[in-house]
Amino acid sequence: METVKSVDLSINNKKLKNIGFSGLQKLFKQSIVLIALFLLWEIAPRIGLVDEAFFPRFLNVLIAWWEMVKSGELFAHFSASITRSIFGFGLALLIAIPLGLLIGWYPLARDLLNPVLELFRNTAPLALLPVFMLFLGIDETSKISIILFACTWPILLNTIAAVGSVDPLLIKSARSMNISSFKLFYKVILPASVPTMFTGIRMAGSSAILILIAAEMVGAKEGLGYLITYSQYNFMIPEMYAGILTISVLGLFINYGLLSLEKRLSRWKQDPTL
Amino acid sequence: MTTVEKIRFERVTKSFAVRDANKKGVSNEYTAVQDLSFTVREGEFITLVGPSGCGKSTLLDLTGGLTTPTRGRILIDGKEIAGPGLDRGIVFQQYALFPWKTARGNIEFGLEAKGIPKREWKEKANYYLNLVGLSQFADRYPHELSGGMKQRIAIARSLAFNPDVLLMDEPYAALDAQTRESLQSELLRIWKQTKKTIIFITHSIDEAIYLGERVVVLTGGPGQVKEIVDVPLKSRDADVRSHPDFVKIRQKVWNLLHEPEYIGANI
């Protein structure tokens, strides 16, 4: 009893310390290079290291960004982009996860479909963009569809792999308790698959942004991809960089959101850093 | 002692198709256990010992209802085993705990499978956590527990749905010697407290004799019952292992297990 208590205390202490001093240290470590990079960006055009016409100072980019925020222009593009990616990504989740679980559960379906799925996954979605536009025009449908298409494969293939790699001993153990196939699926296969499934979901998250921007650059009337090409055509270079920065931040947020969701859902996994 | 028969193995044979190592595409029949017959009494602690490849785990899968015998049958309370059931609880060597569930959650999994109302889960889980001495670790995930603790939780999980028979497949083989010994005496205490029928598979002669009232000695390739050895030990203290009676039984089991080698060596 006594030893157990002291173990618990030491864990708590460690946690506290992490949040305090080493938390600050971590923040410093993570931001120092980034700050240096922004400084370089500011200084390089000033001292003529790069042509300011093509590479404006960081502060000018920020000012352009702020102007676009104030006028509401940026928000319009941003919300157009985020709506497309959320719809495409969300639909992909809704389709690919149940389908992947189903295919993974039936070995025959897995063996039959895997070659086709591999072929589709290895077809660059952007190569199909003209096809999508031919059929669906240049409005929202074609863009959401191509994001849906691009996101489906990594989620689907990883879900299939996840189901296939559930520890057979766990299945055996659950089966020995005489539980129904449905319960086995819902209570064992599904939770055991979450970590591998999430690898696919995060891959899909990053390809959603990539495909979105490309599709918007090719054919759209709003959106961050459109903003970038439009600014470049009209030689509004600070605005162009502001658009690029916004996309980076958007990507960061999506990845961070997915990561923290993953952490929540796989709390039970051993932290590899421990 | 009760002499009511609990489990009867009747000429149980199990064969598998295995790939031929030399000829591609050809499969051979491999017999894991052959014509195995013995009975287990109600409330008995019986241990099975044998060399690797003598079909110990096959026998356990058969008893657990996870596979069916090729020939022969296994009866529990006079009825032939039809599949897995909660009248039998299995404890595996590799614990087989669900890593996404806490110690308590794992125990509750069995309670749920049994169909016990949710309001009783907490109390029942607490009882069995206490029985294996891990009440303070109820909310830990398996990866936060040591091997011995994990196996205790696995035992608690199997006991919690109150099976008549506990099937244990080399449950202590992956543990260090000290943990193994303490879990062995703990298991004897639990057995006396719960009066379960226990079939315990091991490859350790000492473990088989220390735990079992009878030791079924199996020989390999294919697995057959060589002999069933009674263990008439009066006490099961930790130092019983050096008692002359214990040593004598150990010698006997050892000889039974090694007889085929003597024959092969023409001694």
pLDDT of residue B258: 85
Is residue B262 predicted with pLDDT exceeding 80?
Answer: no
pLDDT of residue B267: 42
pLDDT of residue A273: 46
Residues of chain A short of pLDDT 70, as ranges, are 1-19, 270-274
A274 interfacial to chain B (CB closer than 8 Å): no
pLDDT of residue B217: 93
Residue whose structure tokens are 């030491």: A10
Q: How many CB atoms lie within 10 A of CB A95?
A: 15
Q: Model confidence at B12, in pLDDT bands (50, 70, 90)? A: very high
Mean pLDDT of B4-33: 84
pLDDT of residue A270: 66
**A173 vs B88: CB contact, 8 Å cut-off?**
no
Q: Name the A residues in 176-195 with CB < 8 Å from any B CB.
A: 176-179, 183, 187-188, 191-192, 194
**B27-40 tens-digit pLDDT:** 778 888 889 999 99
Q: Model confidence at B108, in pLDDT bands (50, 70, 90)? A: very high
Q: Where are the domains positioned within chain A?
A: 2-46, 58-265
Of B89, B109, B141, the CB nearest to A268: B141
Q: Name the A residues in 240-269 with CB < 8 Å from any B CB.
A: 266-269
To the nearest whole Å, the CA of A177 is away from the closest chain B CA by 6
The DSSP code sequence of chain A is -HHHHHHHHHHHHHHHHHHTHHHHHHHHHHHHHHHHHHHHHHHHHHTTSS-TTTS--HHHHHHHHHHHHHHTHHHHHHHHHHHHHHHHHHHHHHHHHHHHHHHHH-HHHHHHHHHHHHHHHTS-GGGGHHHHHHHHTTSHHHHHHHHHHHHHHHHHHHHHHHHHTS-HHHHHHHHHTT--HHHHIIIIIHHHHHHHHHHHHHHHHHHHHHHHHHHHHHS-SSSHHHHHHHHHHTT-HHHHHHHHHHHHHHHHHHHHHHHHHHHHHTTTSPPTT-
A12 interfacial to chain B (CB closer than 8 Å): no
Yes or no: domain A58-265 corresponds to CATH 3.40.50.620: no
pLDDT of residue A6: 43
A-chain residues within 8 Å CB-CB of B88? 176
B210 interfacial to chain A (CB closer than 8 Å): no
To the nearest whole Å, the CA of B253 is away from the closest chain A CA by 31
Nearest chain A alpha carbon to B63? A176
CA nearest to A273, candidates A35, A24, A22, A28? A22
pLDDT of residue A13: 52
**A172 vs B85: CB contact, 8 Å cut-off?**
no
Of B86, B92, B137, the CB nearest to A173: B92
B113 interfacial to chain A (CB closer than 8 Å): yes
Q: Where are the domains positioned within chain B?
A: 5-87+165-265, 99-162
**B160-218 tens-digit pLDDT:** 999 999 999 999 988 888 889 989 999 999 999 989 999 999 989 999 999 999 999 99
B-chain residues within 8 Å CB-CB of A179? 113
pLDDT of residue A9: 45
B143 interfacial to chain A (CB closer than 8 Å): yes
Is residue B129 predicted with pLDDT exceeding 80?
Answer: yes
Q: Is the ipTM of this complex over 0.90?
A: no
Average pLDDT, chain B: 88
Question: How far apart (Å, rounded) are the C-alpha atoms in residues A49 and A47?
Answer: 6
**A270 vs B94: CB contact, 8 Å cut-off?**
no
Higher pLDDT, B17 or B146: B146
A173 interfacial to chain B (CB closer than 8 Å): yes
pLDDT of residue B53: 76
Of B85, B109, B143, the CB nearest to A270: B143
B174 interfacial to chain A (CB closer than 8 Å): no
pLDDT of residue B261: 61
pLDDT of residue A19: 58
Portion of chain B with pLDDT greater than 70, in percent = 95
To the nearest whole Å, the CA of B257 is away from the closest chain A CA by 29
| Tokens linked to A132 | 């999508």
pLDDT of residue A137: 81
Q: Are B108 and B125 in contact (CB under 8 A)?
A: yes
pLDDT of residue A16: 52
**A122-180 tens-digit pLDDT:** 888 888 888 888 888 878 888 999 999 999 999 999 999 999 899 999 999 999 998 88
**A269 vs B110: CB contact, 8 Å cut-off?**
no
Yes or no: domain B5-87+165-265 corresponds to CATH 3.40.50.300: yes
| Tokens linked to A164 | 């296939």
Of B89, B92, B142, the CB nearest to A169: B92
Question: How far apart (Å, rounded) are the C-alpha atoms in residues B228 and B49?
Answer: 10
pLDDT of residue A7: 45
Question: How far apart (Å, rounded) are the C-alpha atoms in residues B28 and B23?
Answer: 10
pLDDT of residue A271: 59
A&B contacts, CB < 8 Å: 59
Of A169, A178, A269, the CB nearest to B86: A178
